Amino acid sequence: MPLQFTFDHLFGGKNLSGNALVSIVSAGMSKFGRREGLYGRELFVEAASEAFERCPNLDPQKDIKAAFIGMMGESFEHQGHTGPTILDWIGLLPTQAFRTEGACGSSATAIRCGIFAVLSNLADVVLVGGVEKMTHRATADVTEYLAMACDFPFEQWNGLTFPGLFAMVATAHMHKYGTTEEQLASVAVKNHHHGCMNPKAHMQKEITLEKALSSRVVAWPLKLYDCSLITDGASCLILTKPELARKFTDTPVHIIGSGQASDTIGLYERRELTSLKVGKLAAKEAYRMAGLDSLDIDVAEVHDCFTIAEIVAYEDLGFCKQGEGGRFVEEGQSQIGGKVAVCTSGGLKSKGHPVGATGAAQAYEIFLQLTEQAGKRQVKGAEVGLTHNVGGLGATGVVNVYSRG
């Protein structure tokens, strides 16, 4: 109820169905991958430069009134105070800057803050995005830093990390619904195929079902190719009021629904292990605002940090019934040309997962799809898109629905 009150109050109690909350007039993303010799701030310069170049009618210093930057933590680069640091490097000082943190959902929460800022009339144009520089750290260090997004005394302290936690979700799903290792691997095969068509993806490499199934076990049943990549990258969007969008571009993309929810940080506190409640709740709110449902979605970027997470997302978002996510991917329903094209960018699995940048990078892909700039991976006739970004193991969840301008 608090979320519904907030948006309805801002609109004077009007029915929001079909109305744009904000419009995306430009977007940018760095190349994802192992970006040696660069700081995160330099990666953000790449993303912001693309966004500014895409929108020549925008005067960044004059028009942008606030910036919201998502980043998970200081440990990777021993650097905090991200907001003004980024703005200094992209030439937007003295614009007000804010850092948002929601673990792997950090830049999705930045988008939400940007929506709030525009709807509240505090800023007509805002920059939102995120960044993370991770690959210069040892895998053990990255695993430790990421584990800070799960519960310390009852999970971290006892040696649990995210591969182990998502393995619990996978085994629970397998036990309850009969989901198979082959179905998990099918997510990886699909997303690697999509990622091969994305020049900004970290891993542009096809894999076979056999290769995925024979890769080494990380935390059974999750194997190497069931796990997302440690990646460097940055992404950003320019948001404005819908009535101002045509001032900046002839092809805006509108955010027509947005939802966010929270849950317990510890998996051990959950009543159900086979679903992430935040995804369901955030989707319900986003669909309500948009006046749409799951059948209306043409293309979606979901949080496939592990292959089981994508299968769970299908079900939580209503793309298929509970327990049928494994069959959904196995039957090709989530590939380009299927019922709904999911993770056309390659997803976190192939494109990469620089945690602070992921949520805005998902929106970047939807922006490309709905403006028909996605190249070889373009979903023909795509008019409605969705992003689903999860922080931690579902302690934070953000879902946005988008429409072509």
Is 56 a domain residue? yes
**What is the model's pLDDT at position 7?**
52
Question: Residues 6 or more apart from 261 whose CB is under 8 A from it?
Answer: 3, 277, 278, 281, 282, 285, 396, 397
pLDDT in tens, the chain (405 residues): 344 444 554 443 333 334 899 999 999 999 999 999 999 999 999 999 999 999 999 999 999 999 999 999 899 999 999 999 999 999 999 999 999 999 999 999 999 999 999 999 999 999 999 999 999 999 999 999 999 999 999 999 999 999 999 999 999 999 999 999 999 999 999 999 999 999 999 999 999 999 999 999 999 999 999 999 999 999 999 999 999 999 999 999 999 999 999 999 999 999 999 999 999 999 999 999 999 999 999 999 999 999 999 999 999 999 999 999 999 999 999 999 999 999 999 999 999 999 999 999 999 999 999 999 999 999 999 999 999 999 999 999 999 999 998
Is 38 a domain residue? yes
**What is the model's pLDDT at position 17?**
35
The answer to whether 353 is a known catalytic residue is yes
Is 374 a domain residue? yes
Domain that includes residue 288, residue range: 14-137+229-404
Question: Where do the DSSP E strands lie in 44-203?
Answer: 66-70, 96-100, 125-132
Give the separation between CA 234 and CA 262, rounded to whole angstroms: 25
Single out the catalytic residue among 173, 303, 353, 388: 353
**What is the model's pLDDT at position 198?**
98
Question: Residues 6 or more apart from 2 whose CB is under 8 A from it?
Answer: none
Structure tokens at 203: 């891993």
Is 57 a domain residue? yes
Residue 222 pairs in a beta bridge with 219
Is 335 a domain residue? yes
Number of domains, the chain: 1
Is 53 a domain residue? yes
Question: Where do the DSSP E strands lie in 187-337?
Answer: 217-219, 222-223, 233-240, 253-262, 299-301
Q: The domain that contains 285 carries what CATH number? A: 3.40.47.10
Single out the catalytic residue among 55, 104, 150, 320: 104
**What is the model's pLDDT at position 73?**
87
Task: Based on DSSP, count helices (H) and strands (E) in the chain, helices before strands.
Answer: 15, 12
Backbone conformation region of residue 12, classed left if phi is above 0, alpha if psi is from -120 to 50, else beta: left
